[in-house]
Amino acid sequence: MTSESRRFRFVQFEFPWALGPEPGRYTIRERLGEPPAHVLVVDVLGAQQRRLLPRRRRAVDAPPDQPPEPVLTSRATLVDAVPLAGYEAAAAWLVAADLDALAGAALVRLNRVLHAHRIAAADRYAREVARAQALVVRVGFGDGERVADGQWDRARELAGAAPTALRPRTAALRPQERLAALLAGRDVALACEELTLRVRLDADAERWREAALGLRIAFEAALAELEPWREIAGLAERLGTLREHRTAVGAVANAALQSGLQDEQIALIRTVLGRIEAALRARTAGGV
């Protein structure tokens, strides 16, 4: 291999669980009929041998002080199908590249694969991933086969999310306070909260038809379930503003049943979803 041979750009993630798709190479096209845009290489590292153990037919005694079972690590490498001219061009690209933006775009594509796996396997427990969950994120370049085998010429390792201990105290404690209230029965988990989270997941993944359909249900549930808390400062006004969008939300959901959505319809989804989330935050901030 010479310094002039082609180099391929890649973004690599490692997660401490099985992602779902079987190890191997997956070709990704952005649209039908177009040449491949990326190749996703899925590897399993670490405790593969756990998969080879026979399934026990009955329970057995567990000794005390048993050490934790080893866990596997999944490595997902998204390789750009369009090569760079050579080592020097690749090195210049790595210096100038917006690494965080590349990692974000790669994560969107990885989650599309995981979503497709969930549908193909009919596995309701298969999940998508967030960058903060990754053990490591790398951006780099290398020869095609070496990159596919988990090696590279040069790579940069990106900083992870800030540890919880370094976040502002109020941001760190509010979820714990809410959790304690839920477990103690001082608060209730609303159906619209879970529904809204699902819509946000679809919106983040740009699955706009699913987001539009889910938004209709989350919207109606939020209006009904938040009504008992309308006396919280500002919440009545937020609910009134939301009601003004009822007809538009229904129309976008109906449109999603027929085809893809237009930019203005996507903008409406973003707006209404943000307002539902703001109303839910107002309820929690107002005391539960």
Arithmetic mean of pLDDT, 174-180: 88
Can you give the residue range of the structural domain that contains 137?
A: 8-48+68-157
| Residue 62 belongs to a domain | no
Share the mean pLDDT of the chain. Answer: 89
Is the same domain home to 89 and 190? Answer: no
Cα separation, 202 vs 213, whole angstroms: 10
Name the one residue in this structure whose structure tokens are 């100038």: 96
Domain end call among 157, 185, 219: 157
Domain count, the chain: 2
Whether 128 maps to a domain, the answer reads yes
Give me the residue label for tokens 């209230």.
181
pLDDT exceeds 50 at position 172: no
Domain end point (choices 132, 157, 182): 157
Left, alpha or beta for 242 (phi > 0: left; psi -120 to 50: alpha)? alpha
Q: Are 203 and 235 within one domain? A: yes
Cα–Cα dist 11/131, whole Å: 12
73/144 same-domain check: yes
Q: Which residue is it, tokens 């009955």? A: 58
Pair 181, 112 in one domain: no
Average pLDDT of the segment spanning 189-196: 97
> Is the same domain home to 239 and 267?
yes
Q: Measured at the alpha carbon of residue 204, what is the angle toward residues 201 and 210, in degrees to the nearest 5? A: 60
* Residues 153 and 215 grouped into a single domain: no
Sole residue written with tokens 């191997």: 24
Q: Do both 36 and 149 map to the same domain? A: yes
Domain boundary, last residue among 134, 157, 180: 157
| pLDDT tens, residue by residue, 138-161 | 999 998 888 888 889 999 999 765
Is pLDDT of 184 > 90?
yes
Nearby residues of 228 by Cβ (< 8 Å), 6 or more positions away: none
Residue 61 lies in a domain: no
Q: Please report whether residue 183 resides in a domain.
A: yes
- Same domain, yes or no: 153 and 34: yes
Note the pLDDT of residue 145: 84
Is residue 134 in a domain? yes
pLDDT digits over 80-103, tens only? 999 998 999 999 999 999 999 999
Q: Are residues 139 and 252 located together in one domain of the fold? A: no
Residue 195 lies in a domain: yes
